[in-house]
């Protein structure tokens, strides 16, 4: 939840066997969906700009960011030579920094991403 009263999480529609990430704002629930090929998506954190981070739950879950109406796999936003696989995103602050967990050189590690636009 952020200071604007926006809440994120996950939910299933009645009769649906999958869970989608959601944003609750202004007494409305917005279905954020999930990345292609995933069965579930969980929204874990939101900042004041309404940027949301979370984790799809599928065969190999990639961490995601949802902004400007689009869910994006965080792995496509980092260098492909970094040897990182970003698995889950837990939180995002108002500077756009994202914390979570992933795999680097076959070992599990926490990560901190700082977008270039905020440097």
pLDDT one digit per residue (tens) for the chain, 119 residues: 999 999 999 998 777 777 889 999 999 999 998 888 777 899 999 999 999 999 987 656 799 999 999 999 999 999 999 999 999 999 999 999 999 999 999 999 999 999 886 44
User: What tokens does 105 get?
Assistant: 């050189």
pLDDT at 116: 82
CA distance 101 to 103: 7
Q: How far is CA 45 from CA 100, 105, 110, in A?
A: 11, 26, 16
Length of the chain: 119
CA end-to-end distance (rounded Å), the chain: 25
Q: How far is CA 104 from the centre of its chain?
A: 19
> pTM for this structure?
0.90
Residue with tokens 């869910």: 71
């Amino acid at each position: 939840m952020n200071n604007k009263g926006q809440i994120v999480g996950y939910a299933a529609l009645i009769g649906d066997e999958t869970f989608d990430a959601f944003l609750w704002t202004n007494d409305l629930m917005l279905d954020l969906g999930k990345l292609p090929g995933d069965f579930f998506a969980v929204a874990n954190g939101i900042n004041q700009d309404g940027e949301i981070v979370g984790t799809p739950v599928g065969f190999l879950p990639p961490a995601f960011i949802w902004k400007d109406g689009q869910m994006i796999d965080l792995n496509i936003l980092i260098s492909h030579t970094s040897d990182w696989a970003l698995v889950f995103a837990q939180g995002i602050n108002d500077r756009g920094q994202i914390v979570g967990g992933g795999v680097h050189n076959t070992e599990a590690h926490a990560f901190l991403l700082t977008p270039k636009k905020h440097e």
